Amino acid sequence: MSLLEVRDLTVRTSTGLTLLDSVSWEVDAGGRLGIIGESGSGKSLTALAILGLLPEGMVASGQVLLDGTDLLALTGRRLDRVRGAQVAMVFQEPLTALDPLMTVGRQIAGPLRLHRGLGRAEARAQAAELCRLVRLDDADRILRSYPWQLSGGQRQRVALAMALACGPRVLLADEPTTALDVTVQAEVLDLLDELVDRTGTTLVFVTHDLPVIARVAHDLVVMREGRVVETTTVAQALAAPAEPYTRQLLAAARAVTRLPVAQEAP
């Protein structure tokens, strides 16, 4: 059985508008899945639905199975025990995802105290180690800082440290480098790639950027207008995409980047 399996996930508004329509995909333990599509395709909404973080007025149906447990059936404390501990998320813009009125140290230590029951001193020591893990070497200063006192790249590393704090089985990364400049984006992607390899965490990476997907993911789900239009591998998509929409994404990416042409799909 796959570690994370999404079955016929559908999201509708209270007025009956369908935003996600029978989305299905799966990823094995230790796998790397990329979800790609244009703005409004439903890729970020899928990630939010997995963790029960849909905006008010939206309702999800179907199944989201984590090692056989349906996350959509969990509520309250049972769902809280999953968020952060088993499935964690890194959001697109850490300045809005982080609390501007709370120091970075308290925010990184929060999941450790909540899910692992660590005391204040032990949680802070572990937070310092997590800072070093994500290459924030001046850990003492970082922990004393507020998010608005840090650069965009530093904030995203803090968000990554928080997400990895409790050793989640699945990491959902929702366009985590979109708000960063090109140089910092490359550094964060390299760091994410290294940490996922080191920890064996299953990665689900959401983006509109095919070159980014090619850098961090092995398998690929292509979405458009709330539906899955192609499920393939990144190598196969680069070599011979099956669907016209995937070919459009590939052509657009190659028009503005040096995205490689795969010679042979595995």
Give residue-wise pLDDT tens across range 214-232.
889 999 999 999 999 999 9
pLDDT band for position 104 (cuts 50, 70, 90): very high
- Tell which CATH classification among 3.30.70.2860, 2.60.40.10, 3.40.50.300, 3.40.50.10490 matches the domain 4-100+169-256: 3.40.50.300
**The amino acid at 190:** D
Q: What is this structure's pTM?
A: 0.90
Mean pLDDT of the chain: 90
Q: What percent of the chain lies above the pLDDT cut of 70?
A: 95
Quick one: how far is CA 78 from the chain centroid? 21
Does position 258 have pLDDT exceeding 90, yes or no?
Answer: no
- The pairing of beta strand 219-224 with beta strand 227-233: antiparallel
Which has the closest alpha carbon to 207: 180, 235, 167, 236?
180
